[in-house]
Amino acid sequence: MQLKYIDEFRDPGLAKGVVDSIRTLWGDRPPMRLMEVCGTHTVSIARAGIRSLLEGAITLISGPGCPVCVTPDGYIDAAIGLGKRPDTVIATFGDMLRVPGRISSLEKERGQGIDVRILYSPLDAVEIAAGNPEKEVVFLGVGFETTAPSIAGAILSAAERKIENFSVLSSVRTIPLAMEVLASDPEVRIEGFLCPAHVSTIIGSDAYLPLARKFGVPCVVAGFEPLDILYGIYLLLRQKKQGVATVENEYSRVATPSGNRKALEVLAKVFRECDIGWRGIGVLPRTGLAIADAYAGFDAQKKFGVEIPFSEEKTACRCGDVLKGKITPRECPLFGKACTPEEPYGPCMVSSEGTCAAYYKYGVQ
Amino acid sequence: MPGEKILLSHGEGGKKSRDLIRKIIAKRFENPILSPLFDSGLLGRLDGEIAFTTDGYVVTPAIFPGGDIGRLAVCGTLNDLSVCGARPVAISCSLILEEGFPVATLETILDSMKAAAKEGNVVVACGDTKVVEKGNADGIFITTSGVGIASDGWRPAPENVRPGDRIVLTGTMGDHQAAVLIARNRLELAAEILSDVAPLSSMLLDVLSVFGGSVRFMRDPTRGGVGVSLNEMAESSRVRIVLDESRLPVAEAVRGICEILGFDPIYLANEGKALLIVDGKSADPIVETLRKTRYGRNATVIGEVTDGSPGVLMKTVIGGLRAVDYPVGDQLPRIC
């Protein structure tokens, strides 16, 4: 199988050209503070060694765009509680397995006997439910706008097939309003956003226009390959230098201004907006997607009367400050000591897309 | 008999056991050391330092594109001997079979062991067969141990690695694990990916016979792939290794599957590759020699040893620098 257009976006000559253009454009101005919102960008930047290439021109801070990292421990506790009910299957994406709740994790509880299955698609959970009518199958619906349509699709499929032993414990979050909270935080001081690529394919690049206008922050939607990121950074610096703040779309080969209409329709049908807690950040109004009343039968919270408590835990773990870009992982006292990928203390170290994990894995000491 | 299955009575020591061992297993490996079926294989006098290794094989599925658990069990042990500079003399073959395992599949696997042993120029000198109740194993597990004679005057010497040395990889990364992953997940892909499982003895021993003094030490990057083996090599030599991402060989199809599934080929297992740390000046002639062999066609220099704190770094394609650490927490299926 030939997977085309990989090398094209990793071309060393072109990359050097963009880096040189960035240097020429920016001169010796103080570094611009940019946030890459999405965890996939964080990993891609670390893997390609982009920080080392642009040292001095930009300060890249990593944002809260790793769904696992912002899932509160109360959610994990609720999932474990559901898993302990008789004849219950917890179906989840693999990343959730090792996230610490308040006292345990799904991985540890699986060792104690709860039935946890790792899936690649929420639709697989519907199949498990169809094949095991005597079991209750609860899918852990964690993610952003990118995964939300497939979760909604699974609910629609279960509804259509009248599969009543399937439900979703929703912890879906949306990005643009969360970015507004960060943009308004004087401690974070964001001068430009590298907007998430996959989220933008769903919601469209226009979704960031209010943010750019309201806060005067340049926004660029960029893909995940090294050249996408470098060119996205170039566009952000250019906006800043020209004194404009608008939305530019570097990822136009996939993301459009208005997004994926079909996916947005499905989201509007199955979900409703709600306030939701972000681990380490707090409750952010209207950034959550709860299951709409028309599909209440598939809402695990309603079906089993589960509460997802949210508390702002105070520990030495500084994931919250990392997620907000206030500190880099190395400034956390636990980083690499009490908190490593083998023994994660905070969620940013658990997920492969977590900022701390990326720093730990790819950081040059 | 077609459709015949392994039964518990095949492992009970009676007539059925005897038939299985004599007619199906020992018959294939026939040689003067094994055939008397003594309780030990008598190897005769061996001249030189003896190398001794053992490994268990539990791969699922037992038969995968490009090989099977039998070929893997022979090659894995031969390669462990070879990277220590030892010429393989004899291996053992210990089988754990699950009740209900098809005899025909067992025969396929044994044929493949026989062929690999022949190719690797080694005899199966002893063996054992056990059968466990259904559910207590996964079809077939194989353990092989190997005895070899170390090359005269050559020993793995991580302590001799120094800045300026080069890292040579004998071919593309990740083929074995990619092939097994595809077989396990029944992924339908246009291109076929075959496991690289192969005996490397003759290739590596030939290199040592010519360039022995320039080869510091060798590893076969199996579980954890090139990334883990290099970290271990850097650790045992206490040096910094800097890889050049643009020179890392990966088959196009393997790269495709890695991009889709989010794997990094540097951490995928190989079963027919070796990593060599060699004197910088000899790197090119060694690569040339390797490229003339069947299993070293894609050999290449992938990096070098430099000054600096120990560890593995990578110069990325676009010119950045990053660490290559041990992977953590990947839920690796049984691949070997």
B329–chain A Cβ distance below 8 A for any pair:
yes
Q: Does the distance separating the beta carbons of A227 and B329 come in below 8 Å? A: no
Do A119 and A166 belong to one domain? Answer: yes
Residue A20 domain flag: no
Same domain, A127 and A196: no
Q: Which residues in chain B have their CB less than 8 angstroms from residue A1's CB?
A: 189-191, 252-253, 256-257
User: For residue A140, what is the domain's CATH number?
Assistant: 3.40.50.11740
- List the single residue in A1, A12, A341 with the smallest CB-CB distance to B317: A12
Q: Do B320 and A52 touch (CB under 8 A)?
A: yes
Asked if the Cβ–Cβ distance from A3 to B255 is below 8 Å, we say: yes
Q: Which residue has the tokens 């906006």?
A: A239
Is A182 within a domain?
yes
Residues of B in contact with A363 (CB under 8 A): 322-323
Residue B247 near chain A (CB below 8 Å): no
Residues A165 and A272 both lie in one domain: yes
Same domain (yes/no): A88, A207? no
**Residues A52 and A124 both lie in one domain:** no
Containing structural domain, residue A206: 25-61+176-243
Q: Are B256 and A3 a contacting pair at CB < 8 A? A: yes
Written as six digits, the tokens of B5 are 């299955």
For helices A148-160 and A261-270, what crossing angle results, to 10°?
60
Question: Which parts of chain A are beta strand (E)?
Answer: 32-38, 58-65, 88-92, 115-118, 136-143, 166-173, 192-195, 219-221, 247-249, 271-278, 282-291
Give the number of C-alpha atoms closer than 13 A to the C-alpha of residue A27, restricted to the C-beta side.
Answer: 2
Nearest to A325 by CA among A359, A352, A351, A277: A359
pLDDT at B331: 46
Considering the domain architecture, whether residues A86 and A193 belong to the same structural domain is answered as no
Q: What angle do CA B94, B98, B102 make, to 5 degrees?
A: 100
The pLDDT of residue A349: 85
- Cα distance from N-terminal residue to C-terminal residue, chain B: 30
* pLDDT score at A313: 64
Residue A186: which CATH number? 3.40.50.11750
ipTM of the shown complex: 0.71
Same domain, A169 and A292: yes
How many CB atoms within 10 Å of residue B285?
14
Are A93 and A171 in the same domain? yes
Domains delineated in chain B: 8-150 (3.30.1330.10), 158-323 (3.90.650.10)
> What does the DSSP 8-state code read for residue B112?
H
Q: Is residue A7 part of a domain?
A: no
Contact A364 B321 (CB under 8 A): yes
| Assigned domain for A127 exists | yes
Q: pLDDT, tens digit, for every residue of A48-68?
A: 999 889 989 999 888 888 888
User: What total number of domains does chain A contain?
Assistant: 3
A191 in the same domain as A133: no
Whether residue A2 and residue B252 make contact (CB cut-off 8 A), yes or no, is yes
Q: At a CB cut-off of 8 Å and minimum separation 6, what does A208 contact?
A: A176, A179, A193, A195, A200, A219, A221, A247
Q: How far apart are CA A355 and CA A359, in angstroms?
A: 6
B197 vs B272: CA distance, rounded Å? 5
Confidence of residue A326 (pLDDT cuts 50, 70, 90): confident
How much of chain B exceeds pLDDT 70, in percent?
Answer: 96
Q: Please say if the pLDDT value at position B247 is more than 70.
A: yes
Q: Give the model confidence (pLDDT) of B97-122 as tens digits.
A: 999 999 999 999 999 999 999 999 99
Q: How confident is the model at residue B336 (pLDDT cuts 50, 70, 90)?
A: low
- The residue among A106, A78, A84, A48 whose CA lies nearest residue A347 is A106
DSSP at A299: B
Q: Is B188 on the interface with A (CB under 8 A)?
A: no
Q: Determine the Cα–Cα distance for residues A291 and A171; give it in Å rounded to an integer.
A: 10
- Tell me: do A275 and A351 sit in the same domain: no
Sorted by sequence, the CB contacts under 8 Å of residue A263 that are 6+ apart come out as A149, A202
Contacts of A356 (CB under 8 A, 6+ apart): A319, A322, A329, A332, A335, A339, A346, A348, A349
CA angle A284, A286, A292 (to 5 degrees): 130
* Number of inter-chain CB pairs under 8 A, A vs B: 84
Q: Are B316 and A341 inside 8 Å of each other by CB?
A: no
Do A122 and A268 fall into the same domain? yes
* More reliable by pLDDT, B215 or B1: B215
Percent of chain A's residues with pLDDT above 90:
65
Q: Looking at the structure, do residues A103 and A141 belong to the same domain, yes or no?
A: yes
Q: Give mean pLDDT, residues B35-50.
A: 93
pLDDT at residue A312, rounded to an integer: 72
With respect to residue A3, please indicate whether it lies within any of the assigned structural domains.
Answer: no
**Domain presence at residue A254:** no
Token match 């943009």: residue? A183
Instruction: List, for residues B323-334, the tens digit of each pLDDT value.
Output: 998 887 554 556
B325 to chain A, any CB pair closer than 8 A? The answer is yes
Q: Which of A80-84, A319-323, B79-83, B107-111 has the lowest mean pLDDT?
A: A319-323
Say if A248 falls within a structural domain.
no
pLDDT band at A116 (very low <50, low <70, confident <90, very high): very high
How would residue B86 be classed by pLDDT, with cut points 50, 70 and 90? Answer: very high
